[in-house]
Structure 1
């Protein structure tokens, strides 16, 4: 009988899984898939902030969202629904459960905000509430099914803090918060499903130290002492910094299945812009852009 080994490490993707995703096989380009993944993670992060969830729960939700869409196609499952399901499931995993009413109201608010629609509160228990609630329940079950109920997520936040203490950087006025922000931004990339948390923690410290021109020990190399490879550190840093050179107009991205096909044909942007312009007539508000979550740094760093 073969032995089954249990591991507390995160499940990582193979190179084949990373390159041949269900969405790519469904005719969605790499760029389109990347944009939709970022949109979902952006929704989860902002929903978590409004729901006052700890950052670890927001991170878990985004990692579950990313894992799910390496098992399912963005053409068959809505970004909105899987985002809600990821937040709801992550809150349970991290033992900070939330109410359906709060979750649905927050997502309703964010969707209206992203598409520049009037921010009218949703009347209590109208049909929209039940629609979004049902979508969340179905999405949660789909996530569990596609991930084979493996929702264990190890995040690098605590590891990074310990490494900062080892490197005597925990009291630096900028580096700890900057590294924390890089961890948050990296959730919108594939690094959390390609590398283990200790390597990610090393990379954000390396990136923050370079940004602040702080020299780290090289004799012996500090990353070798922490059992990380410089090549991996540089690759992770490259994924994170690439986010800052490609801002997204999030109001032009589809949130529901019905919006995906027009988006893939290049028709959704025009329609949503016309609709939101009519709804916001007389307003000088410009479309929000997604470039970095640094503007919403988490105050829970400790």
Structure 2
């Protein structure tokens, strides 16, 4: 977000009006700067663990309610975007996740009331309460809880919802990579099995910061590229099925510059960044033995398991059919590093220096009622400023 101040003639020189621009995507340099700024004293490992716990929490909520994938994925994306502007130490990831899910239900017309989401979240966080509940769906009966606690949590959800809406400048547009995976898979003549794997990898991309950096069609193509790599690396050479293109041919085709870049409006350098991020995520899954939940079908929490164990189960994705172990994935990353292209230079919107573009002047204004604020859906330059 960029903020443009228009000062009035009052003696206090307070901003009379503000203009906030929505930034649909950020460069890797911007994401790195903003993440480090909001990380505080946490290490990168601790930050990643918190991020995966939040994503797992959203998976569990979505599975229990029955939300479609687009609602869960958008909620995960909103969570990531929120913590580009707000410190992690100031918010509990349960509260931010729940507020992000609430906003996502509005964006995709799968709306649930705050109390309904709270009841489901209590059942996920506190399985012992769900075990005692007589609710037919296994949710916690809010009438049996302290009304002050419920009301406090509801007010906190609504307060964070407002902050999330301001971080996206009330832009409810949300495009998903999943339809692109199907269309691009057909365009590349990929097998059905490869396309299915790419779809699941696109789901996993929302556990990372990739969706705030790249548009959905690039995420989709990157998922197909990673699927082709995983399906062909150290595997017997496939001749293809039903006249489909073999995985190794698709990986080789997308792994170098070609006419496909203009055709699919993406660059090979970006696909390599996506590939490393997804493989790192799978590496975290293979190294975390307690994570055994498929990202496409997250299991509903069992009342017989502790809350801590539930989060461990949901913390990382894992592929039940994946033939890869950590050593193989590391070897694949080494091979990719030996042949990868230099990173592509991406110009930030508005300024070449992310620290200057996001100096923090706009952060104290979020959630305030001082002056008049205009939220513009486009980035600077796309809409004339006044």
Mark the CA change 1:118 to 1:102 in structure 2 (over 3 Å): closer, same or farther.
closer
Cα distance in 2, alignment partners of residues 17 and 245 from structure 1:
22
Tell me the equivalent position of 1:140.
161
* Cα drift, residue 153 of structure 1: 2.6
Query: Per-residue deviation at 1:168?
Result: 2.4
Decide whether the 8 Å contact of 1:47 with 1:106 is kept in 2.
yes
TM-score, normalised via structure 1 length: 0.73
Kindly report which structure 2 residues correspond to 1:186-265, keeping only aligned pairs within 5 A, or say none: 186-213=205-232, 214=247, 215-216=249-250, 218=253, 222-247=260-285
Other structure's SS at 1:288 match: helix
1:176-223 alpha-carbon deviations (Å, 9 max, x no partner):
221111011111111111112111111111111222231228395544
Judge which range, 82-91 or 118-127, deviates more: 118-127
1:129-151 CA-to-partner distances (Å, cap 9, x unmatched) read 33332222122112123333234
**CA–CA distance in 2 between the matches of 1:185 and 1:85?**
21
Q: Which residue of 2 aligns with 1:23?
A: 38
CA contact (8 A) 1:60 1:153 kept: yes
* Distance in 1 between residues matched to 2:277 and 2:85, nearest whole Å: 22
SS where residue 28 of structure 1 aligns?
coil
Contact preservation (8 Å) 1:175, 1:212: yes
Q: Give the deviation of 1:93 after TM superposition.
A: 0.7
In the TM superposition, what are the counterparts of 1:78-97 in structure 2 within 5 Å? 78-97=92-111
Q: Counterpart of 1:129? A: 150
Q: Which structure dedicates a bigger proportion of its chain to helix?
A: 1
Structure 1 residue 183 and structure 2 residue 202: aligned?
yes
Q: What displacement does 1:13 show?
A: 4.3
Instruction: Check if 1:77 corresponds to 2:77.
Output: no
Query: 1:88–1:98: 8 Å Cα contact kept in structure 2?
Result: yes
CA distance in 2 between partners of 1:51 and 1:118 (Å): 14
How many residues align? The count is: 254
CA–CA distance in structure 2, aligned partners of residues 138 and 250 of structure 1? 34
Q: What is the aligned counterpart of 1:161 among 159, 164, 182?
A: 182
1:292 corresponds to: 317
Residue 72 to residue 104, structure 1, CA distance change in 2 (3 Å): same
Using the alignment, how far apart are the partners of 2:65 and 2:121 within structure 1?
A: 10
Q: CA RMSD in A?
A: 3.1
1:47–1:107 contact (8 Å) kept in structure 2: yes
The unaligned stretches of length 5 or more in structure 1 are: 1-6, 252-278, 296-302
TM-score for both structures, normalised by structure 2: 0.59
